[in-house]
Amino acid sequence: MGMRRLGLILAVVMLIASIGSGVFGCRSPQSKPLPDRSQEEKEPPPRELQQLQTSLERLYEELKPKPAALADEKQAKAGGEETRRSEGEETGEGGQRMERPETAGGIDWSRLHRQVERIHMQWSGLEHKVIQSGARPEDVAGIERELNDLPARVSVEDRSGLRLAANNAAGYLPDFLELYAVRVPADLLRLRYLARDVVNRVDGGDWAGADQDMVKMRELWSRALLQLKDAPRTLTESVHFDIGDLEEAVNKRDRDLVLIKDEIFEKNLDSLVRRLEAEI
């Protein structure tokens, strides 16, 4: 009986072992889940992108329209400088006679030409980086088209055309910034571009185009607010009311009022951007 019992136990053990090897031996090892690329951290934006943004900002500031009273004052001042320049050269250090750079309408076009050259150098260093980061071909082609228009506008001293091309070029930068890790929502930069486009259209008498831009600004601001839940309420409210004031000025068809309201809007928008950047 003892031998039979021992044999029965061994048979049961072997049966269990064979079943286990058949069941578990057929299971393939689980592969590790692929990393979710959408969760990967983006790299910080290239230095050239910030440089290009700053250069386009400065170029626009040189050319932006002024309210009539300020424009007349600046024109009179430029006329006085032109008169002094025509009377002769100025005396520099050591008694040497020096010439002022040539200007037209109070604008130093030689200096703007150098600024445009710098902008093209910055884009040359940035282009391949944004392409490698996934920039859309139409965005790359679009900004190149606007940048290539800058030298021609300078050569014919086309102030409004140069200002428009500079702002249009800047309008592509938010798309590039979204490729990188940034704290400031790109929609805020798009708002600045649209506000300046409003100014450009109003300065050119295109009130219907300005109306359309204001509709886009309203929609864009509503979208941007979703990304600004943690931003200081006082700053977001200021920008919100500034957009309303700018729209009201456009509705009144008052050029100078539009320029004033845009100036206030941009200052408050800059305050919001600086606050967000400081939180990085």
Average pLDDT over the chain, rounded to whole? Answer: 82
Query: What CA–CA distance (Å, rounded) separates 194 from 196?
Result: 5
Residue 210 has pLDDT above 70, yes or no: yes
User: To the nearest whole percent, how much of the chain has pLDDT over 90?
Assistant: 69
**Whole-number Å distance between alpha carbons of 116 and 212:** 30
For 51, 134, 136, 172, the CA distances from 127, given in Å and listed in that order, are 13, 11, 11, 12
**Arithmetic mean of pLDDT, 87-113:** 60
More confident residue, 91 or 23: 91
pLDDT, one tens digit per residue, over 120-167 is 999 999 999 999 999 999 999 999 999 999 999 999 999 999 999 999
Q: How confident is the model at residue 12 (pLDDT cuts 50, 70, 90)?
A: very low
* Residue found under tokens 């100025």: 90
For CA atoms 162, 163, 168, 170, the dihedral sign is: positive
pLDDT given at position 279: 80
* pLDDT confidence tier of residue 119, bands split at 50, 70 and 90: very high
CB burial of residue 144 (10 Å; 0-12, 13-18, 19+): middle
pLDDT of residue 178: 96
The amino acid present at 185, given as its one-letter code, is P
Yes or no: say if 119 and 109 are a contact pair by the CB < 8 Å rule. Answer: no
- Of 237, 243, 159, residue with least CA distance to 198: 243
Q: Are 66 and 163 within 8 A, CB to CB?
A: no
Q: What is the pLDDT of residue 21?
A: 43
Token readout for 35 is 């990393």
Poorest-pLDDT segment among 96-110, 221-235, 239-253: 96-110
Between the alpha carbon of residue 190 and those of residues 85, 170, 213, the distances in Å are 42, 9, 11
SS3 178: coil
Instruction: State what percent of residues in the chain have pLDDT above 70.
Output: 72
pLDDT score recorded for residue 20: 45
| pLDDT value of position 68 | 85
Give per-residue pLDDT as tens, 31-80. Answer: 333 333 343 578 999 999 999 999 999 999 999 999 887 665 555 555 55
Tokens of 222: 């509503």
pLDDT given for residue 74 in this prediction:
57
**Beta-carbon contacts of residue 187 (< 8 Å; ≥ 6 apart):** 174, 220, 221, 223, 224, 227
Distance CA 253, CA 198 (A): 12
Report the alpha-carbon distance of residue 195 to residue 210 in Å, rounded: 9
Question: What architecture (CATH level 2) is domain 45-65+106-182?
Answer: Up-down Bundle (1.20)
Task: For residues 267-274, give the mean pLDDT.
Answer: 97
Q: How far is residue 172 from each of residues 140, 180, 194, 209, 261, measured CA to CA in Å?
A: 8, 14, 12, 19, 24
| Residue 6, pLDDT score | 45
Written out in words, the top-level CATH class of the domain with range 183-280 is: mainly alpha
Domain ranges of the chain: 45-65+106-182, 183-280
CATH topology agreement for domains 45-65+106-182 and 183-280? yes
Does residue 105 have a pLDDT over 90?
A: no
What is the phi/psi pair of residue 229, to 5°? -65, -30
Q: What are phi and psi of 25, to 5 degrees?
A: -70, -20
The pLDDT, as a whole number, for residue 69 is 73
Cβ atoms of 60 and 166 closer than 8 Å: yes
User: Does residue 180 register a pLDDT over 90?
Assistant: yes
